[in-house]
A = this chain, B = another copy of it.
Amino acid sequence: MIVVLKRIVTDEEKRDLIQMIEKMGLEVKDAGSENHGVLGLVGDTTKVDITHIEAQHVVDKVMKVQEPYKLASRTFQPMDTVIDIGGHKIGGDNLTIIGGPCSVESEEQIMHIAREVKAAGGHLLRGGAFKPRTSPYSFQGLGEEGLKFLKKAKAETGLPIITEAMSIEEFDLIEQYADIIQIGARNMQNFALLKHAGRSSKPICLKRGMSATIEEFLMSAEYIMASGNPNVILCERGIRTFESYTRNTLDLAVVSAIKELSHLPILIDPSHATGRWQLVEPVSRAAVAIGAHGLMIEVHNDPEHALSDGQQSLKPERFTKLVKIVEKIHQIV
C-alpha cells in the first residue's frame, strides 16, 4: 500500500502518521522526496481499512499495491480450483456447458428441455424457480414447485441442477434440491446472503454485478470463502455501459484477468450478456476461444411462448449446433 502525503506536511505530522501505521503492525518505507512525501507500507495490508488512512488530514491519497483478497487469489493458491459435480469437473482444462430455460414453467417444459440439453451434450441443467424481475408485475417464478420439477428432470436425465437463490430463506430451501446454488448479479454484494452461502456445503455460482469491478467480484467470492466454502464458480454476464444495442456489454477480457488473478473457474453467460439469441452462438465461440471454463446458455423449446427472456433463448437445435462448434474450438486453444 502506498500513502501519498499532502504537499504541506510538517516533519512532526509525518512522524505521527508513521507511528500510527506502525501500530497497525506494518513497516513503513520512505518512497518520496523532501517536497512530496510518499510512504510504502509493507506487511499484510488485506485487513487495513483504506478509508481509515485516507481520513488522516495529512494524507492526500492511498493506492493499493496488493490485491485485497487472499483466499480467492492465485498468489495464495497457485493451482486451479476444480470442482466435481456428480462426476463432471468444472475448472482446469475442462469445458462445462450448462443449458436450460430462464424460468421453470411446467413439469412438461423442463422435462422436455432437460432431455434436449442432455442429448446435445450439455453437462448441467439450469432453470429458475425464484426469478429476480425488475417489475413486481412480471412472472416471479414457480417457487418450490419449480424445484420439484427440476429434481424430476435430474432424476430422469442425470443432469445436475443449478438454480438461483435471492434470499437466505430461499437458499435453505434450494440447498435441498440443487447441486450448485447461484447468486445473481443483483445480489453480488448482498453480504448477508454471501456469508450464508459461505456456510453451505454446496458449490456457489457467483455472477458478476453489472457494475462491479473485477476486484469487487473477487472480494465477493472472498466473502463466501472466508465463511468456509471454498467451492466458488465465477460467472460473467456483461456489464453496464452506455451502449444499448446489446442488453449488456460483455467484458470478455475478464476471463484472462480472472485466470491470472485467481484460481477459481470462470464461466460466461452469453444469453444475459447480449440479450439477443442471434448473438449467443458467436459470443459463445469467442468465450471458449479466449479460454472460459464454461458457458451458461438459455435454452427453450418454444421461446415465443416463454414466460421470461424468450428473446435471448436458443431452440434446442441451435443449442446442439453451438455445443458442437465450441467443442471444436476448445480442442484448438
Contact = CB atoms under 8 A, between A and B. Distances in A.
Contacts of A80: none
Q: Which among A30, A42, A63 has the greatest number of chain B C-beta atoms within 10 A?
A: A42
Interface in A313-333: 313, 325, 328-329, 332-333
Contacts of A65: 2, 4, 32, 36, 38
Nearest to A333: B285
Contacts of A227: 136
Contacts of A191: 132-133, 136, 166, 186
Contact of A223 (B136, B186, B304, B306): B136
List of 6 A-B pairs having minimum Cβ-Cβ separation, nearest first: A31-B40, A55-B310, A211-B211, A31-B31, A54-B311, A289-B289
Interface of A: 2, 4, 7, 27, 29-33, 36, 38-40, 42-43, 46-47, 49, 51-52, 54-57, 63, 65-66, 68, 75, 132-139, 166-170, 186-187, 189-193, 195, 209-211, 213-216, 219, 222-223, 226-227, 239-246, 249-253, 255-257, 260, 273-274, 278-279, 282-283, 285-291, 303-304, 306-313, 325, 328-329, 332-333
